Structure formats: structure tokens, C-alpha cells
Amino acid sequence: MPDSAGLSVSTPSARAGESGADRYLAFAFAAADMLVEADLDGIIGFAAGAFRSRLGIEAEQTIGRSITSLFAPSDHETLEVALAMARHSGRIAPVVLRLADRASTQVSVGALMLDVNGRPPRLHFTIGPLPTEADATASQIGPLADKRSFARIAEAALRGSAPSNLGLVEVTGWDRIRETLSPVGRRELEADLNQAMVDSAPGGTAGTLDDGKYGVLAPNGIDLDGMMGRLKTILRGNPAAVAAGLGGSVLQLEAGGLSGPQAARALRYALDRFAEGGQKAADAAGGRAGLAGIVATAGQQAVAVQEALSRRRFSLLYQPIARLQDRCTSHYEALLRPNPNARLPMRNTQEFVTFVEAVGMTEELDWAVLETAILALQETKAASVAINMSGLTFQNPAYRKRMMARFAELAAEGDILANRRLMIELTETVEIRDLEAAAVTMEQLRTIGVPVCLDDFGAGASAFRYLRAFRVDFVKLDGAYVRSACTSARERSLVGSMITMATNAGAKVVAEMIETEEQMKIMRDLGVQYGQGWLFGRPGRLPGRRSSVMTEG
């Protein structure tokens, strides 16, 4: 079992034959309802315990299945991240997850890596009731998935063989509700609304997309009228919410002639538009006509997007990334800012990028950003810049070939590559399928002087797989972990494990969204070498360059 350094070692009881195994089971059941042994990919090879009473199945029925199948879909990503970390640390510290039962029962889940009788290493999970000290933490975990997790679950449903419906529900007037109700009253109202969403999706998933905006995914159809009736009853029963508005619609999760990636991008675009602007924005995007309607509506603006990219009608602002040891700037991240106009009404970067993905122009966007950043570097002759590149782009062999040819030109022209002044941050928009081919390009980039960074490390399971498959120079810790590490000792321990994992893989760590001295100190104490956030500077012009805006043509 893991020692104090987190290494996997054998225990006498694990090697002591049947009596040792019986003893192991007895000790484990002292604090657990269910035991599971799985390989390092999470495939169950042994199970015992209260599976029938907890999940309504026999323990033997779980053999050969992924351990994620035991838990609510909204918690799958959390468990996948924990599995990825366990391959390096040898353990999963106790975490609160929800079972895949009707009540989404919260349980405590932990695991140790054991090498039993010379077999390949296995993860041994204990699944049991919440310990007393976890109750307070668990009570803060709502029954709904967050926006990122819900989007992933919806995309998985889209890829499935059985048709699903996606309900979008909006409660308006939330600002007024927040001002009128006490904190306790708000939590009670939110709990009632959340429970109504969960009850409306038997066998499915409900998620919070933004304040007052919900998504409901149900494999057997959604009774929108019934759900809205229950929500009206809840709101009318609360004096502070009696004047709140209520709206909703159903989006059919069917490709409708679209390719799989195109349908997935349209779905993400619809969810983003709804989260930002509610039902009105989702309808304007074509959501009432399904995913195909979203793409058809988007096509009317695609020409304007193509023109904006080809003529570089956007801005790149540059935010400093500082060394935590001395707070001196190491390099800058190039941040895209669209220039809205009558033909291109996208109001912010997320809306613009999601739209570009929906209409299949991600490669054009990444190329335009690359060329604009190269021009900025040629003008400044000093600063170093990191640009974002989508996994959707990087997985295309033709794009990688084109990119390497451009870098060969740069190598012959000057000092940009010789002095490692251009970096690529790989974002996790789409998981790269051919990891071996991508790894070859990664090595070529590092060889010619283009460092590589994994962006949003910890936000999804793919980044952990990339860390195993690629040699990278940096990983960027997702800002949500920076915030949580300052408020929870358990989260701080998790973040510390992630930092250790990245460091052991030979990568330096950048923590984003550092806004306070306290956050900087905690990250530095945990072993982070670089920081990005308002504490070190807001996005602006690249030093030494007159303008960050391109308006060619």
C-alpha cells in the first residue's frame, strides 16, 4: 500500500493467501459498504458488498465494467481525473461522489494501489457512508452537475445509440431574488429548484448552466409541461420569487445529417448561448430547430467570420506570466478579443470561439492567431508569447504539417525559435485521437525551439492522458483549483498531488487566475513556479509593440 512518499509497495496481508485476503476484506468492510478491485484504467475485476441494496444489481454484474458506471454521470469526470492521478500517486484520497441510484446517494470513495502476488498493479476501492467530518462538505455539493460536466454528459448522450432530449429551463429575475432573500432563504429556494430538476430527469442528469439557467437530460423524454408546473408552484410559494419569470424548451439531441464533431460543436454552442443569454439567445441561435437548425442559422454569419479571420479583424491582448520566485515576467499569453460589428455580433471571446467551432473554422482561427502573434514577435524583438491551439486543430495531420513548414521558415528567418520566444498552449476542446502521431509532432516542436504547454490542467481527464503520452515543458493549472486550494485543506492536498505529478513528468507548472498575495503564496508553497492573473498584470499591449489590433485589407 502507498507509503508516505506515495509509492506503491506490497503488504504482508496482500500476499498471505486466502486467509490474508479474508483479513483484508474484513478490515475494509469495517468502514465500507462495497469493495471494488479495478485495473489502472478503472475496469472492474472483483467486487463484493452491498451492491444489491445500494444499486439494485449483483456484485458479479459489475465485472468487466468501468467503475465510473457505479456513479452518477455528473461525477464521471471527477472520478476519471482521480483515476489518472492514482496512476502516478498510488492512491485516491477520500472524495465525495454520488452513486448511480435513484437518490444519487452521496458516498465516500477512496482507493489504494496494490501489487498482489506479482500481478499487474490494481486499484482497490472502498465505497462507504460519509464520515462525520465529510457531512459538512457533502452538504455543500448540490445534486446538479456544473456547466462543464453537463456539457460533457450531453455530448456523450449525443454520441449514444438511443435518442435523448435536452431540456433548457430559465428562471428570470434572479438578481431580484438574490437581493430579497437571505443567504439561508436563497439556499433553500435553490435546493427546491435543484430537486425539481433532478426529479424531472429519472435515469438522466440535471445541471446548472448559470444563475437561474438549467439543463435537463432525460433518455426517455422530458415532460416539459409537468416540470414547468412544478417549478411555478415552487416559485409562487416563495414571496421573494413570486414575480420571477419562467421559460423553457426542448432540444432534440439528434445529429440531423450533421457529422458527429459538427453536431457536438453545435451542442456546445447552444449551451453557451443559453448560459449567457437565456432562452432568447438560444432561440436566436436556431435552437428551436434542433442542432441542424443551429448550424443553418450559424451559416448566415459564417461568411462574416471567414472575412474577420482572413483580414485579421480581431485583437490579441497579452497577459504577463510571472516567475513566482521573483515576480519577474517570463512570457505573455496571447488572448483573443473579437471586434464586434453588425455582421459579427459576438460580444465576447467565448461566444466567438464557440461559434467558430460550431461552423468548423477552428483551424482558420488558430492559424490567424498564430500568424498575428508571429508578426508581433517580429516587431518586438524581445518578448516571448504563448498562443492557444485547439486539440481539434492539433489532431489534424494536415494542419500539423502546415504548421511545421511555417516554423521551418521562421527558423531560417531569425531569433524567434532560436530563443524559444513562441510557445503553444494546447487546449482541451476536443480529445486528440492519434496520440502517437501527435507525440511525434510534439517532439519536433520542442526540438526546433517551440515549448509546449498543456492548458487547463485538471479541468478534464484528457489532460492527464496527454501528460502520459507527451513530453511537455509546462502545464497550466486550471484557475478553479487555485481558488479552491485557498479555502479547503482537502483541495489543497489534491492540488499538491497534481503539481507533484506534473513536476515528476518534467513539466513546470503555471497557476492561472492568481489575484491575491495569499493565492500566490499558497501556489508557491505547493511547488508552482509560474503565475498568471491580475496580481501580475491585466491583458494589454505587448511591450515594444505599437498596436495589438490587425485590420488588414
CATH number of the domain that residue 283 is part of: 3.30.70.270
DSSP state of 451: -
Fill in the amino acid letter for 71. F
Does 1 fall in a domain? no
Q: What stretches of 486-536 show up as alpha helix (H) in DSSP?
A: 489-504, 517-525
pLDDT tens across 184-238, in order? 888 888 888 888 888 887 767 788 888 888 988 877 778 888 888 998 898 888 8
Does 268 fall in a domain? yes
- Identify the domain boundary among 247, 272, 298: 298
Does 363 fall in a domain? yes
pLDDT tens across 108-160, in order? 888 887 765 566 888 888 888 775 443 333 333 345 777 777 887 777 777 76
The residue segments making up the domain with residue 84 are 13-139
Does 105 fall in a domain? yes
Strand-strand pairing, 422-427 and 452-457: parallel
Query: Is the same domain home to 67 and 115?
Result: yes
Does 167 fall in a domain? yes
Query: Is the same domain home to 475 and 394?
Result: yes
Are 99 and 107 within 8 A, CB to CB?
Answer: yes
Q: CA nearest 392: which of 425, 363, 349, 351?
A: 363
Burial class (CB in 10 A: 0-12, 13-18, 19+), 172: middle
Query: Is the same domain home to 134 and 159?
Result: no
Q: What is the mean pLDDT of each run of 10 residues along the chain (553 residues)?
A: 29 36 45 80 86 87 92 82 71 80 84 70 83 41 67 75 76 81 82 84 78 82 86 86 83 73 78 84 77 71 77 88 95 88 69 76 91 91 90 88 93 86 84 82 91 81 74 89 81 81 89 94 94 94 66 37
Does 303 fall in a domain? no
Count structural domains, the chain. 3
CB atoms near residue 331 (< 10 Å):
22
- Identify the domain boundary among 236, 267, 298: 298
- Identify the domain boundary among 112, 139, 166: 139
Instruction: Provide the pLDDT for residue 344.
Output: 65
Instruction: Provide the pLDDT for residue 31.
Output: 53
Query: Is the same domain home to 131 and 161?
Result: no
CATH number at residue 333: 3.20.20.450
Q: CA nearest 321: which of 529, 536, 474, 527?
A: 536
Cα–Cα distance measured from residue 256 to residue 17, given in angstroms and rounded to the nearest whole number: 57
The SS3 assignment for 480 reads helix
Instruction: Provide the pLDDT for residue 341.
Output: 67
Instruction: Provide the pLDDT for residue 221.
Output: 76
CB atoms near residue 324 (< 10 Å):
22
Does 3 fall in a domain? no
Q: What is the pTM of this model?
A: 0.65
Does 5 fall in a domain? no
Query: Is the same domain home to 334 and 262?
Result: no
The SS3 assignment for 1 reads coil
Buried b (16+ CB within 10 A) or exposed e, 476-504: bbbbbbbeebbeeebbbebbbbbbbbbee
Query: Is the same domain home to 273 and 394?
Result: no
Query: Is the same domain home to 330 and 384?
Result: yes
Q: How far apart are the first and last CA of the chain?
A: 65
Query: Is the same domain home to 422 and 370?
Result: yes
Cα–Cα distance measured from residue 461 to residue 442, given in angstroms and rounded to the nearest whole number: 19
pLDDT tens across 467-477, in order? 778 889 999 98
Residues 6+ apart with CB under 8 A from 496: 526, 527
Q: CA nearest 315: which of 334, 343, 341, 342?
A: 334
CATH number at residue 89: 3.30.450.20
Question: What distances in angstroms separate CA 404 from CA 401, 407, 417, 524, one per listed residue?
Answer: 5, 5, 12, 35
